[in-house]
Amino acid sequence: MEKYKMHILICGGTGCRASASEAIQNNLQDAIKAKGLEDEVQVVMTGCFGFCEKGPIVKILPDNTFYVEVKPEDAEELIEEHIIKGRKVMRLLYVDPENKETISDSKHMGFYKKQIRIALRNCGFINPENVDEYIARDGYAALGKCLAEMTPQTVIDEIKESGLRGRGGGGFPTGLKWEFAAKNEADQKYVVCNADEGDPGAFMDRSILEGDPHSVLEAMAICGYTMGADKGVIYIRAEYPLAITRLKVAIKQAREYGLLGNDILGSGFNFDVEMRYGAGAFVCGEETALIHSMEGLRGEPTVKPPFPAESGYNGKPTNVNNVETFANIPVIINKGASWFNKIGSEKSKGTKVFALAGKINNVGLIEVPMGTTLREVIYEIGGGIKDGKKFKAVQTGGPSGGCLTEKHLDTPIDFDNLIAAGSMMGSGGMIVMDEDDCMVSMAKFYLEFTVEESCGKCTPCRVGNKRLHELLDKITLGNGTREDLDLLRNLSTVIKDTSLCGLGQTSPNPVLSTLENFYDEYISHVEDHKCAAGQCKALMQYVIDPELCVGCTLCSRNCPVDCIAGERKEAHIIDASKCIKCGACMEKCKFNAISIQ
């Protein structure tokens, strides 16, 4: 890297690529060429920077200037001004929404200040398609250290001492899991990386694989060394084409460098990695289901025991860990368990990556120490609720999690506290909701997902969730009764207690937690037939306030069913019998004249 004087890093994460970051890269390269600066300035497409809200992001090194919302047509100006003249392009810098100060270094932004990046350490710093850059940031040093200086047992002890727990949702101690797999003797063992990120609204695993694929390969090799496995398999969603491409490149480069394959670093240890593609089934996040899917079968779970550590892939001892869990391993080996276990809370060590999304100002990928409070995450890092609305709930743990409210805002986030509060860590999705979100509809939304994703093997999950969904549907249509609420609660408990795998055991959580925290809202649906948030179509009506309407005709022109009548410069009226309640009029009205009743 030292050859170049300056480096321009462009975010190549999915969000930024969708907003033309590739065109920015091309334009920058063209501008550099036009000025004859090819030997001095290098343009690198990196993994996700995390600050998706402000993407596409372009960062210039060595002066650490962080440009936001860059467009392809800005490329020439960036080269001309910043690179050649050394002047920052002020209009592309981040402006702090509170004090309106311009900030050029990401370190000082509210979004980044509280973050500690361990799993995401290389995302946004290195070119993920160049193994040399990974190596330059201590890459494969941990593998070297394990092979040269440590026995498999001392590696396991180190991971145990670090207190690392599985980041895929379960929170099982990783070191212990490795030990189980190591203790089972067999002629063949497997290390499996679960990259079947199915939780809607969570994209940390994909970002790690896109931004730092080698960290996962290195950790898998270390795991293989501890348990005596020479084969690794990454089970990845087919819907992640960019992550797949980058992993393929990484595997090839690692093999060329002798970091995968036979006799790694001259130690006599063999380990290689191959890939298997998922085909869209949420239940495959469950490890026994995932293993069946790897074998070419329907991804249905089986009863544990036997655990995969005894009999997994092809009936052999198998250790399954999630992407983020693996990404932590090299750092723990390099810096030591005692460094790692000082970060975090008493029972949950280290950091956790969250995908912060929904009605929040700073949507993005964040990594914070365990024990950070929800308030810090939502208000300091997330920048508060969008459009100055009122915070209502935050949903953690995806379809298996629950909704937390105002009263939980000061709860330190860790595995145990979230469970105690009626939710769970899950893979780290964190969706913020405001006053316009109806909690009954939210529960229905998650149940719709579960019903679709239930594999159908066990009755409580297959039939029970369907019934839950029907009840919720009935309530949102205004036909629910108080008895239905009791039924919802009872049925949820039965499903939780009797389902075969993690999917069914957690699927009623969104129902239970909303019943617990937003009972009033359920009551107003069933007793008063009102949806305060204005989301349940059957219970609402759009009306135009004749006092506020100026007759601009914008609403009637945008109405897809032509149900708004009125002359120009006169108040308009909505014909409720024809209205399909799409909300297009309210969205377009510039005078706040349209409301929901």
Query: Which residues of the chain form contacts with other proteins (CB under 8 A)?
Result: 13-15, 18-19, 52-55, 198-203, 206-207, 238-240, 276-282, 293, 295-299, 355, 357-359, 363-364, 395, 398, 429, 431-433, 437, 442, 445-446, 449, 452, 455, 558, 560, 580, 582-584, 587-588
For the four alpha carbons of 123, 128, 132 and 135, in that order, the dihedral sign comes to positive
Q: Which lies closer to other proteins via its Cβ, residue 31 or residue 432?
A: 432
Residue nearer to other proteins on the CB measure, 359 or 525 = 359
Min CB(240)–other proteins separation in Å: 8
Min separation Cβ 138 and other proteins, Å: 27
By C-beta, is 54 or 525 nearer to other proteins?
A: 54
Nearer to other proteins, 350 or 401 (CB): 401
Phi/psi for 596 (5° steps) reads -105, 135
Provide, rounded to whole angstroms, the least separation between the CB of residue 434 and other proteins: 8
Beta bridge partners of 194: 235, 322
CB 446 → other proteins: shortest distance, Å? 8
Min dist CB 264 to other proteins, Å, is: 27
Tell me whether residue 14 or residue 127 sits nearer to other proteins (CB atom).
14
Measured between alpha carbons, how far is 240 from 593 in angstroms, rounded to an integer?
Answer: 43
Inter-CA distances, 130 with 27, 84, 213, Å: 22, 27, 10
Distance of closest approach, residue 87 Cβ to other proteins, in angstroms: 29
**C-alpha 421: how far from its chain's center?**
21
Shortest distance (Å) from residue 381 CB to other proteins = 14
Least distance in Å: CB of 201 to other proteins? 4
Residue type, 389: K
Biggest alpha carbon distance in the chain?
85
Q: Which is nearer to other proteins, 334 or 558 (CB)?
A: 558
Minimum gap (Å) between residue 110 Cβ and other proteins: 16
Least distance to other proteins from the beta carbon of 505, Å?
20
**Residue 194 token pair:** 């679960």
Whichever of 150 and 438 has its CB closer to other proteins, that residue is 438
525 vs 532: CA distance, rounded Å: 9
Instruction: Write phi, then psi, for 36 (nearest 5 degrees).
Output: 65, 35
CA distance 596 to 191: 54
- Residue showing tokens 């004859």: 36
Residue 86 CB-density burial (10 A; 0-12 exposed, 13-18 middle, 19+ buried) = exposed
The C-alpha torsion from 99 through 102 and 106 to 109, rounded to 10°, is 0
Taking the complex as a whole, the smallest distance from the CB of residue 305 to other proteins amounts, in Å, to: 23
Q: Where are the alpha helices (DSSP H) in 257-306?
A: 287-294
> What is the rounded CA–CA span in Å between residue 416 and residue 434?
26
Residues 6+ apart with CB under 8 A from 508: 464, 465, 468, 491, 492, 493, 495, 496
The number of CA neighbours under 13 Å toward the Cβ of 170 is 16
Residue (280 or 306) nearer to other proteins, CB: 280
Long-range CB contact pairs, 494-498, < 8 A, 24+: 494/460, 494/464, 495/460, 495/461, 495/464, 495/465, 495/468, 498/458, 498/460
Nearer to other proteins, 83 or 357 (CB): 357
Q: Choose between 225 and 240: whose C-beta lies nearer to other proteins.
A: 240
* Residue in 282, 186, 201, 304 with CA at minimum distance from that of residue 237: 282
- Categorise residue 541: left if φ over 0, alpha if ψ from -120 to 50, beta otherwise: beta
Asked whether 141 and 67 are in contact (CB, 8 A), the reply is: no
Instruction: Rank residues 167 and 206 by Cβ distance to other proteins and give the closer one.
Output: 206
> Nearest distance from residue 136's CB to other proteins, in Å?
27
At 182, which helix (H) or strand (E)?
Answer: helix 174-183
Tell the smallest beta-carbon distance from residue 165 to other proteins (Å): 24
Given the complex with other proteins, which of 74 and 300 has the nearer CB atom?
300
Q: Collapsing DSSP states into helix, strand and coil, what is residue 210?
A: helix
The H or E element spanning position 241 is helix 241-256
Q: Which of these, 333, 307, 312, lies nearest to 191 by C-alpha position?
A: 312
In the complex, least distance from residue 361 CB atom to other proteins, rounded to whole angstroms:
11
When the beta carbons of 124 and 198 are compared against other proteins, the nearer one is: 198
**Residue nearer to other proteins on the CB measure, 478 or 583:** 583
Beta carbon nearer to other proteins, 256 or 575: 575
CB of 400 to other proteins, least distance (A): 12
Identify the three-state secondary structure at position 488: helix
Give the Å distances, CA to CA, from 360 to 69, 106, 204, 385. 17, 19, 18, 4
